[in-house]
Amino acid sequence: MSNDIAKPGSIVPRGAAPLRTLTAVMAVMCFLAVLSVGAMLLINRAVAQWASGLASEVTVQLPQLSTRDMEQDLASLTKLLAAMEGVKGVTILDRKDGEKLLAPWIGNDGLDALPIPRLVRVVVDDKQQPDFAAMEAALQIAVPTARLDTHRRWEAELRRMASTLTLLSSIILVLISLSAVAMVVFAARAVLEANRSVVEVLHIAGASDNFIASEINRRFIATGFWSGVIGLSGGVVMFFVLGYWGVAENNGVASAARGLFYLPQEGDWRSLTWFLLVPLAATAIALITSRITLKRMLGEVQ
């Protein structure tokens, strides 16, 4: 007789009720979750970039009125604004710049005849912004026809859109998680049904519900983890394919997908760790759901 101690066999047989189908379905769900997380990251990153551009700049509009001397008003404004605290630079845009801004909306023809307002770009310190109320009041006194546009409305719109899309992505993630929970519940029931005779022997031999649940749980932990890894790999490949697919056109989806992995901004690498949460969440869902289901079902067995 050999004195070698062989590795003990798995108490719950792996062959009964294999979890291949659950692995495949959960991998698809993890793939969708990765796409959803990626979309959420792209949206938030884009909005953060746009909003930071808007926050570091304000515009003063000066309409063309026959009663006012435009050049004198522009000079007064420039002097006033440049002296204010929190203002880093003041640039007067010439009439051609104004025409360029309008051209996409109304075309190039006839722009000469229009009384296009003049714009003054004011670059502000986005860390220590000026008091915009005081700035507006000072402008009103110096040049009553001047209008200050702080872009707050656009920024609010952008942030509202980002919040809505983030909420939608979150709802999709919740629905994916709920579907995964339902799948694990069905699979746990199937495994227990297929191993009813094993469970009965274990109970009679003095095994607690916790022991039996743990023996079966191991398979679900492995299933959750590997389906998460497969889904994550598939999602990352998908973003890379999207990035290469549209290189020539440099279109929106392609450049956004490329930007997700190739052009991370400072500190943005951390946001990519969100992707790592997908296999972790899949493992946690498989572990916790199967454990609760098994314990509940084992409680029904005498």
Partner 1 sequence: MLELDAVGLRYGNGPEVLKDVSLRLAPGQFAFLTGASGAGKTSLLRLLFLALKPTRGRLELFGKDVVTLRRKQLPALRRRIGVVFQDFRLLDHLSTFDNVALPLRIVGQKPQHYAQDVKDILLWVGLGDKINAFPPVLSGGEKQRAAIARAVISKPEILLADEPTGNVDPALAKRLLHLFSELNRQGTSVVIATHDESLVRRTKVTVWHLEQGRLQVT
The answer to whether residue 200 forms part of the interface with partner 1 (CB under 8 A) is yes
Which CB sits closer to partner 1, 73 or 215? 215
Residue 98's contacts (CB-CB under 8 Å, 6 or more residues apart) are 116, 117, 118, 119
Q: Report the C-alpha gap between 148 and 120 in whole angstroms.
A: 10
Min separation Cβ 22 and partner 1, Å: 20
Span near partner 1 by CB under 8 A; candidates 74-82, 207-215, 247-255, 269-277 = 207-215
The answer to whether residue 201 forms part of the interface with partner 1 (CB under 8 A) is yes
Which parts of 6-25 interact with partner 1 (CB under 8 A)?
A: 6-11, 13, 15
Question: Which residue from 52, 91, 108, 208 is in contact with partner 1, where contact means CB under 8 A?
Answer: 208
- Report residue 158 as tokens: 């952008």
The answer to whether residue 302 forms part of the interface with partner 1 (CB under 8 A) is yes
Question: Which residue from 97, 136, 155, 209 is in contact with partner 1, where contact means CB under 8 A?
Answer: 209
Task: Give the phi and the psi of residue 205 in degrees, each rounded to 5.
Answer: -75, 0
Min separation Cβ 24 and partner 1, Å: 24
Which CB sits closer to partner 1, 278 or 298? 298
The answer to whether residue 207 forms part of the interface with partner 1 (CB under 8 A) is yes
Which CB sits closer to partner 1, 19 or 143? 19
Q: Report the C-alpha gap between 176 and 164 in whole angstroms.
A: 18
Per the DSSP assignment, residues forming a β-bridge with 65 are: none
Does residue 17 sit in helix, strand or coil?
coil
- Report residue 268 as tokens: 């943005």
Helical ranges in the chain per DSSP H: 20-55, 70-82, 95-106, 132-142, 152-194, 196-204, 209-245, 252-261, 269-300
- Report residue 242 as tokens: 């999207």
Using DSSP bridges, classify how beta strands 87-93 and 147-149 pair: parallel, antiparallel or unpaired.
unpaired
Which CB sits closer to partner 1, 8 or 104? 8
Question: Which residue from 144, 206, 248, 266 is in contact with partner 1, where contact means CB under 8 A?
Answer: 206
Question: Which residue from 42, 74, 202, 285 is in contact with partner 1, where contact means CB under 8 A?
Answer: 202
Q: Report the C-alpha gap between 208 and 196 in whole angstroms.
A: 15
- Per this entry, what is the length of the chain? 302
Span near partner 1 by CB under 8 A; candidates 29-37, 114-122, 192-200, 240-248 = 192-200
Query: Which residues lie near partner 1 (CB under 8 A)?
Result: 1, 5-11, 13, 15, 197-198, 200-209, 211, 299, 302
